[in-house]
Amino acid sequence: MTRSLLFVPGDSGRKFDHAAASAADALILDLEDSVAPDQKPTARKEVRAMLERRAAAKQLWVRINALDGGDALADLAAVMPAAPYGIVLPKCAGRDGLLQLSHYLDAFEAAAGTAPGATRILAIVTETAQSLFGLHDYRDATPRLWGLSWGGEDLAADVGALRNREAGRYTEPFRLARSLCLMSAAAAGVRAIDTVCVDLDAPEILATEAAEAFRDGFVGKMAIHPRHVDAVNAALSPDDSQLQWARAVIAAFAANPGAGTLRLDGRMIDRPHLRLARRLLGED
């Protein structure tokens, strides 16, 4: 299970060490927003070194710069020889961007001798207004697609919003983007990953966001500070009663493999409940 994905500025080996010691399931080594333009060449070398160190038991992702700029190919050239677990694609406007990155990865994997298709893609798909209109088209785009996530900061700038949050909650346009990302991931059959909590010193807001994410169907959440990781992991993990229910559902269908609907503890369950049970147990 990948519950927590912690961003690490690509130009800071010190912060990488701190992040690697955290309980995060995955680290996202960032070459985009957290790195100043004049520091990107240095950051690429740093990220390559981070990848080669291989933090134990953690997925190591790299967020490259957007494909429509001049940095994405340089980012990939620097990091792909070190075989990251996956690439985080920002500002993905639609299926074409996903396919473009997949073709780049084909070439870089071949050059590095990496197994074809080994590099996964996590696409951030709501950072422009245009991108919201391509969310229906990700299913079967590429086997590399591991998950979809969303973001509200760049989207706010794109639509001209004065702010995207009030009283610690996203306003309606941005909650729409969140919902559409969730539905798009479900339609594509991939993981839905919630965006970061930008309130660094408001644990109650983080707890609410993470709990709502798990309730609604997100399986993971990004984080921008190590102190957010434990709360995210706790909220995105099923509790004992949920695990007990999931095991009972799976056992019921295993005992009745041809059944479409069954009765469990006085309630009807059907195949969608079986899918949910498998997700809760990390089998889906």
Residues of the binding site: 63, 127, 154
Alpha carbon 82 to its chain centroid, in Å, reads 21
Beta strands in the chain (DSSP E): 4-9, 26-30, 59-63, 86-89, 120-124, 145-149, 165-166, 169-170, 191-194, 220-223, 261-264, 267-270
Where is the binding site for Mg(2+), in residues?
A: 127, 154
For residue 185, which of 221, 143, 152, 217 has the smallest C-alpha distance? Answer: 217
Contact 73, 104 (CB under 8 A): yes
- Cα dihedral 248, 251, 257, 263 sign: negative
In the chain, the amino acid numbered 93 is A
Where is the binding site for substrate, in residues?
A: 63, 127
